[in-house]
Structure 1
């Protein structure tokens, strides 16, 4: 067995703070590619692959490589049984309380939502990579779709909740990642859910919708504008759309905002000055979300 006290004790002597952080990120966000892990926590591909191979051999993490018709997909990593048990013991929990099942963890390899989950996680990996090399810049919160669903119930189901800080300015936002497969009427209908969320919880956070093409974005903006006009409180659902995760290019275009030009991510906070972030939603003490930023001892990526 890989979850004997002897093996867990052996692991405890060999795991770094970065290893433990990675395990917690995989528990929260389900799957990360090798490229995303390099972006978030390593200096390069060679050192990352060496450590990931060791963690795989120790059953901290598991891996799979999806089939693609052209080229080869990057390796995808999920939490494995030894990693789940070690995190449970660190948090003072009975491993059974985690309800971890390896077949569910690795089962995302066959999920129809794999590409969507990887795309959402890639969005935030880009932000983390930028923050690691930029002073006074941090991704201070990043909640998974699963955590959002548990916390906000059936009011709204964003793909993520996050906070992005640059110096003393912070932007709180929900993210919806549009993969181009959803009917635009369904996408637009979600605005009513966010209006209900704002009215019920007093959380008025901007909704950022990322598209895979500018053509899809342009079509969607017309549907979103019409849907906003149908709301009783459209000011409770500030929206911006974009097609890239880069935090350093003017990528986001507000709908019904004070500005009609594309803005950098942090500039959205200045576009809606009345929406200064309130206290972050409170997570339960058990299984709290991990810090999106890797431990300070983790070296920043080159380049």
Structure 2
């Protein structure tokens, strides 16, 4: 404004970043990467390919003992052209560095799988397109949700046996079930001898809740087509929005032909204890839809098994390990030890027999 001109000091913005020299993606450079990249580096590359984008904090929580060690290794991977990075604009503070798969990293993954980069489906411009996507915050939020479970398992208490055994991205779920449902993710949590699997609907506070409730019909159709009952977890930002969503979800749930085929539980992010060392969706924040909210006790993620005794436990593959860069199982193309590839439509879901 003429009456209140912007001062020069306010125009400086963020501290300028000195450009780092990066290696060219040549055959010679890929030969050098053969002895430079560790199994953890390749696991991180597969995670980026599966889940599109991860922040520096998420990668650290998934694979490194400290933020400093993760930052140093990610800088090396960036210099070698294995990963790319960008920093979204935020109005307050500074956004964390966001990482995506770079051409050299894609070439390594393609070579491991015996594919050409084009056959793999990798395109650098499309990968970097997530930086300008209107769904960037939602994608990062979903990845943070699952990362919190991995972080909780990595810092389990003595005697605990908890692990995230499966994590499918939105893209992979759409590939397998996109004709009926398009969840934000699929996961499987193991707590001792208990296991629970689920589809995730992650609400960022922007979706029309009536549309969210309308998705139950698709999950019911999938259950009818496969004969498999899979719980649906709905994650919302606030308790107030959760209460509104529960009313709409309950109305749509009762109208299903077989409501028991779609077990639903809701939770709100604000119910997590911010003072806890590692708060996660595994905490006691879940409330089944068929339970009255007033006076009801919230359940832990593994405790939902008791709320739905009619849901059989998932059948795991032999030797299935916890999610992590030290997992003993080689996996391709999924980046994690997961259920086997999906059967033809209508023949059942991965991980069940």
Contact 1:128 1:292 in 2 (8 A): no
Q: Distance in 2 between matches of 1:273 and 1:14?
A: 50
Aligned to 1:225: 250
Contact 2:185 2:199 in 1 (8 A): yes
Aligned to 2:309: 273
Higher fraction of helix: 1
Q: Give the 5 Å matches for 1:1-303.
A: 2-134=24-156, 135-244=160-269, 246-256=280-290, 260-279=296-315, 287-291=332-336
Contact 1:257 1:272 in 2 (8 A): no
Q: Distance in 2 between matches of 1:240 and 1:118?
A: 22
Q: Distance in 2 between matches of 1:204 and 1:198?
A: 6
Q: How many angstroms does 1:249 deviate by?
A: 2.8
Q: How many angstroms does 1:277 deviate by?
A: 3.1
Q: Distance in 2 between matches of 1:102 and 1:56?
A: 14
Per-residue CA distance 1:62-96 (angstroms, 9 max, x = gap): 00000000111110000011101100101111222
Q: How many angstroms does 1:261 deviate by?
A: 1.9
Q: How many angstroms does 1:132 deviate by?
A: 1.0
Per-residue CA distance 1:208-258 (angstroms, 9 max, x = gap): 000011110011100000001111111111000012372453100101159
Contact 1:139 1:292 in 2 (8 A): no
Contact 2:331 2:337 in 1 (8 A): no
Q: How many angstroms does 1:280 deviate by?
A: 6.0
Q: How many angstroms does 1:36 deviate by?
A: 0.7
Q: Counterpart of 2:334 in 1: which secondary structure?
A: coil
Contact 1:138 1:166 in 2 (8 A): yes
Q: How many angstroms does 1:270 deviate by?
A: 2.1
Contact 1:250 1:263 in 2 (8 A): yes
Per-residue CA distance 1:14-66 (angstroms, 9 max, x = gap): 11111111000000000001111111111111111110000001110000000
Q: Distance in 2 between matches of 1:187 and 1:274?
A: 25
Contact 1:38 1:48 in 2 (8 A): yes
Q: What is the root-mean-square deviation of aligned Cα atoms in Å?
A: 2.0
Task: Give the TM-score of the pair, scaled to structure 1.
Answer: 0.91
Q: Counterpart of 1:256 in 2: which secondary structure?
A: coil
Q: Counterpart of 1:78 in 2: which secondary structure?
A: strand
Q: Distance in 1 between matches of 2:137 and 2:282?
A: 25
Q: Distance in 2 between matches of 1:157 and 1:203?
A: 17
Structure 2, unpaired ranges of 5+: 1-22, 270-278, 318-329, 339-353
Q: Distance in 2 between matches of 1:249 and 1:279?
A: 24
Q: How many angstroms does 1:286 deviate by?
A: 8.8
Per-residue CA distance 1:247-280 (angstroms, 9 max, x = gap): 4531001011599421011111222122123346
Q: How many angstroms does 1:199 deviate by?
A: 0.7
Aligned pair count reads 290
Q: How many angstroms does 1:114 deviate by?
A: 0.2
Q: Counterpart of 2:215 in 1: which secondary structure?
A: helix
